[in-house]
Structure 1
Amino acid sequence: MAKSQQTFSKSEKEKKRLKKREDKRKKMEARKAEKEANGGSDGIPIAYVDYNGNLTDTPPDPTQKVEIEAENIEVSIPKTLPGEKEEIDPIRKGKVNFFDSSKGFGFIIDAENNEKYFVHVSGLIDEIAENDKVEFELEKGQRGMNAVRVKRV
């Protein structure tokens, strides 16, 4: 008696393939039955957006349509009117908290918000020492804001 040419794994693969085909056929029949129950629609309803931004299944009423002129649409940042908002002065005042001239750096405390800012000798206009009153500008550095263009007052 000859041994069967089909191995166990081949028969298992064949069973899985047939089961997959049967599942696919059942899903297709279920979709057809659901479509007939819904009155023949495809299942994807059309949604409309009403005037309040809500989704609805009814189309919007054309009598409530609002006409907007293209000139009235602003796509940029609104321009500020004179006297509305003054430009902030970039020059700040403060006091030198610490400065090491041998190492070439120090810290300045801002008079307005008591923030401490790093200052390097390359950002100095005048010579400064501890407890000097100074004017400076801020610039973004590697680790935060740095005081630059520092002048003694």
Structure 2
Amino acid sequence: MADSFAKKEKEKKRAKKKQDKAEKKEERKSNNNKGKTLDDMIMYLDENGNFTSIPPDQQKRTKIKVEDIQIGVARMEEEEETENTGVVTSFFSDKGYGFIKEDKTNENIFVHSNNLTEAVKERDKVTFKKEMTPRGYAAIEVRKIK
């Protein structure tokens, strides 16, 4: 039985695909980058921070003492409990809390009515101590400056 033209064309396409695939496979085998030695793959950094394949001079190296290497996070220094000053930016007496803008850092600090020594209102100048809470700093021992 004679093959139709479409069948012949499909067969030609399949044969061409198979041949292309074999050529690609052969090309991959000939241009194989695997199997390089470790020395061929190593890159070095020079003193300027640029990559180079040439190892650096051993004489130019600076010795670093093991004791000088610091691992981990630097310890936060405890702030001394000093009297801070600031201005009450907002205070909601019905809700019992407000915020003080610290003069030194311009940071908003939460204040609760339980930590007030006397009643305060907005734009009052106050002195206070800072206390660290899980949500940030809070003002304690808040006194109005006369």
TM-score of Structure 1 vs Structure 2, range by shorter chain: 0.5 to 0.7
1:99 aligned partner: 91
Q: TM-score, normalised by structure 2?
A: 0.55
- Judged with a 3 Å threshold, the aligned counterparts in structure 2 of structure 1 residues 121 and 16 are, in CA distance, closer, same or farther, namely farther
1:128 aligned partner: 119
| Runs (5+) with no aligned partner, structure 2 | none
Give deviations 1:39-70, integer Å, cap 9, x for gaps. xxx598355637626544445555x2758475
1:149 aligned partner: 140
Alpha-carbon offset, residue 15 of structure 1: 3.1
- Judged with a 3 Å threshold, the aligned counterparts in structure 2 of structure 1 residues 139 and 19 are, in CA distance, closer, same or farther, namely same
Q: TM-score, normalised by structure 1?
A: 0.53
Alpha-carbon offset, residue 21 of structure 1: 0.9
1:19 aligned partner: 20
Instruction: Answer whether contact 2:129 2:142 (CA < 8 A) is retained.
Output: yes
Alpha-carbon offset, residue 126 of structure 1: 2.7
- Judged with a 3 Å threshold, the aligned counterparts in structure 2 of structure 1 residues 148 and 17 are, in CA distance, closer, same or farther, namely farther
Letter paired with 1:20: K
- Judged with a 3 Å threshold, the aligned counterparts in structure 2 of structure 1 residues 20 and 148 are, in CA distance, closer, same or farther, namely same
SS in 2 for 1:102: coil
Does 2:70 match 1:75? yes
Number of aligned residues: 134
Instruction: Answer whether contact 1:134 1:151 (CA < 8 A) is retained.
Output: yes
Alpha-carbon offset, residue 102 of structure 1: 0.9
1:39 aligned partner: none
Q: Aligned match of 2:80 in 89, 92, 107?
A: 89
Give deviations 1:118-141, integer Å, cap 9, x for gaps. 43336x253431215230315467
Letter paired with 1:126: T
- Judged with a 3 Å threshold, the aligned counterparts in structure 2 of structure 1 residues 50 and 76 are, in CA distance, closer, same or farther, namely closer
Whole-Å separation in 2 of the counterparts to 1:108 and 1:138: 13
Whole-Å separation in 1 of the counterparts to 2:105 and 2:51: 48
Letter paired with 1:16: K
| Runs (5+) with no aligned partner, structure 1 | 36-41, 80-85
Alpha-carbon offset, residue 105 of structure 1: 1.9
Whole-Å separation in 2 of the counterparts to 1:74 and 1:112: 34
